[in-house]
Amino acid sequence: VRRNPGESEFHQAVREVLESLGPVLSKHPELTRHKIIERICEPERQVIFRVPWVDDRGEVQLNRGFRVQVNSALGPYKGGLRFHPTVYLGTIKFLGFEQVFKNALTGMPIGGGKGGADFDPKGKSEGEIMRFCQSFMTELHRHLGEHTDVPAGDIGVGERELGYMFGQYKRLTNRYESGVLTGKGLAWGGSLVRKEATGYGAVYFVADMLRVRGEKLTDKTCVVSGSGNVALYASQKLEQLGAHVVACSDSSGYVHDPDGIDLALLKQVKEVERARISEYAARRGRRSRFVPGGNVWEVPCQIALPCATQNELNARDAATLVKNGCRAVAEGANMPTTPDGVRVFLESGVAFGPGKAANAGGVATSALEMQQNASRDSWSFEHTEKRLAEIMTNIHRTCYDTAEELGVSGNYVVGANVAGFLRVARAMIALGVI
Ligand code: NDP
């Protein structure tokens, strides 16, 4: 806390991992000898930079950009870029820290990092978005490379923004280096299934958690928070597997649609028109209603998928969900449940899949995109989705087995933290004091 003042989300993420590690540290004294904990909490490099750009009125605007390269023991830094007005160094450091263990859990050769800016894409024109992305990449490009650091999207950064950034990278370096970014469009080096991967992966994870308890997704009532990339494709996979999504949200409120969310309409409103969720309810009619400023966790469900942002589900929300019969929770977002909320779920016997494990399908498919770029190949949807499903099953098994070995059966938080940590720590020891 003294070394990283005022970065409360970073402290929260670090504390959560360290709390899981007690038994591992006493079993492996070499971790202490090599100062692995101290080293793993200190990013390898942190870049903070000025992002000036000109708005449509001709006025100069200024934002702050970040790239935190946390750990490269397993491979090049890998992790998304977030554009949101609340972004500051503490946000990026928490996300980068989580990313290291998540990436390790995928079993792929990728290190961890994260970046972004305090830029608010809401209400900006196409031209403004493009000029911002170009200015952002004008500085960021010197820190990237397919063997060095490979960003992707996150909140506020999707295919459109990645396109403008890739274009600027190509222009500045005079290299068509496909592997420098992931989440690209299909026409310029992207991978099928990347768009769907985080949401689909989170649903595979829930399905696996239910399976070990002898339950199925079929006919379960689900609530998904958010209505961005992760939320949309989590909802799609839930529907495909026979579950029913009855509510979703954005930062202005939630929609309750007891007949089941109409996904085609939701995608039209959010992906094509980039409109608010209230627009969905207005167009859908029937029994659907928009609750301005409402808390989506009040809607009764058996499965809950927080897919919006950090700390969006607290202990009170968790207690409400448990009271209403919720059986399983998987975090599509990063750290959406507060530590008190996690405790409520674990103590109530709810199957709880932490983001590090449950939302790792996105970065895993990014690693598959890097493989395709490196071999100048592109795989079919079926093949790529099969790989994603296998990876998620492996992550689930790794977390489950690790928890069993440690005598905390069914605790995926401990399982994910310990399994991810040990993979990174072993590589760090092998690479020496660097
Ligand atoms: P998007 O920008 O596509 O969507 C974000 C959604 O969350 C929007 O509905 C947004 O509503 C809502 N939201 C964002 N901030 C807030 C807030 N402060 N309060 C309430 N709602 C909010 O982002 P993604 O779907 O890509 O990301 C969602 C989460 O998933 C993040 O935590 C991200 O880190 C995580 N994640 C994403 C991956 C990916 O592949 N995209 C991979 C792994 C994790 P509004 O439009 O009103 O802001």
Q: What is the secondary structure of 128-196 as a DSSP string?
A: HHHHHHHHHHHHHGGG-BTTTEEEE-BTTB-HHHHHHHHHHHHHHHT---GGG-SS--GGGT--TTHHH
Tell me the HSE value of 408 on the side-chain side, using a 13 A CA sphere: 19
Which residue's CA is the closest to the ligand 1 atom numbered 33?
A: 333
Alpha carbon of 351 to ligand 1 centroid (Å): 23
Instruction: Tell me if residue 114 is catalytic.
Output: yes
pLDDT bracket for residue 285 (50, 70, 90) = confident
The rounded mean pLDDT for the chain is 97
Among residues 306, 352, 351, 310, which one has the least CA distance to residue 332? 306
pLDDT bracket for residue 258 (50, 70, 90) = very high
Span 244-267, mean pLDDT? 97
CA distance 390 to 75: 21
Quote the longest CA-to-CA distance of the chain.
Answer: 64
Strand 289-292 and strand 253-256: pairing?
A: antiparallel
pLDDT value, residue 434:
87
Q: What residues are in contact with ligand 1 under a 6 Å CB criterion?
A: 153-156, 198, 226-231, 250-252, 307-309, 332-334, 359, 362
Alpha carbon of 157 to ligand 1 centroid (Å): 10
* Best probe residue, ligand 1, of 98, 114, 150, 250 (max atoms within 8 Å of C-beta): 250
Strand 244-250 and strand 221-224: pairing?
A: parallel
pLDDT bracket for residue 286 (50, 70, 90) = confident
Alpha carbon of 310 to ligand 1 centroid (Å): 9
**Interface predicted TM-score (ipTM) over 0.95:** yes
Q: How far is CA 32 from CA 27, 405, 419, in A?
A: 10, 21, 17
pLDDT value, residue 269:
97
CATH 3.40.50.10860, applies to 42-174:
yes
Instruction: List, for residues 205-241, the tens digit of each pLDDT value.
Output: 999 999 999 999 999 999 999 999 999 999 999 999 9
Which residue's CA is the closest to the ligand 1 atom numbered 44?
A: 333
CATH of domain 196-353: 3.40.50.720
CA dihedral 255, 260, 263, 266 (to 10 degrees): -20
**Residues whose CB is less than 8 angstroms from the CB of residue 253 and which lie 6 or more positions away in sequence, other chains included:** 277, 278, 290, 291, 292, 293, 294
Phi, psi values for residue 325, rounded to 5°: 95, 20
Instruction: List, for residues 184-199, the tens digit of each pLDDT value.
Output: 999 999 999 999 999 9
CA distance 277 to 250: 6
CA distance 247 to 234: 12
78 is in an annotated binding site: yes
Find the length of the chain.
Answer: 434
CA distance 55 to 62: 10
Span 259-273, mean pLDDT? 96
Q: Is the fold of 42-174 the same as that of 196-353?
A: yes
Instruction: List, for residues 101-122, the tens digit of each pLDDT value.
Output: 999 999 999 999 999 999 999 9
CA distance 402 to 101: 14
4 is in an annotated binding site: no
The reported pTM is 0.97
Q: pLDDT > 70: what percent of the chain? A: 100
pLDDT value, residue 136:
98
CA distance 45 to 291: 43
Alpha carbon of 146 to ligand 1 centroid (Å): 26
User: How would you label 367-394 residue by residue, b for 16+ Cβ within 10 Å and e otherwise?
Assistant: bbbbbbbeeeeebeeeebbebbbebbee
> Residue ranges per domain, the chain?
42-174, 196-353
Q: Contact 326/303 with Cβ under 8 angstroms? A: yes
Catalytic member of 93, 114, 270, 356? 114
Instruction: List, for residues 385-414, the tens digit of each pLDDT value.
Output: 999 999 999 999 999 999 999 999 999 999
DSSP-assigned letters across all residues of 12-67: HHHHHHHHH-HHHHHH-HHHHHTTHHHHHHS-SEEEEEEEEEE-TTS-EEEEEEEE
pLDDT bracket for residue 1 (50, 70, 90) = confident
Helices (H), 141-179: 159-173
pLDDT bracket for residue 420 (50, 70, 90) = very high
CA distance 102 to 335: 12
Does 70 have pLDDT greater than 90? yes
102 is in an annotated binding site: yes
3 state SS of 218: coil
Instruction: List, for residues 134-159, the tens digit of each pLDDT value.
Output: 999 999 999 999 999 999 999 999 99
Strand 45-54 and strand 351-353: pairing?
A: unpaired
pLDDT bracket for residue 2 (50, 70, 90) = confident
Among residues 414, 403, 352, which one has the least CA distance to residue 209? 352
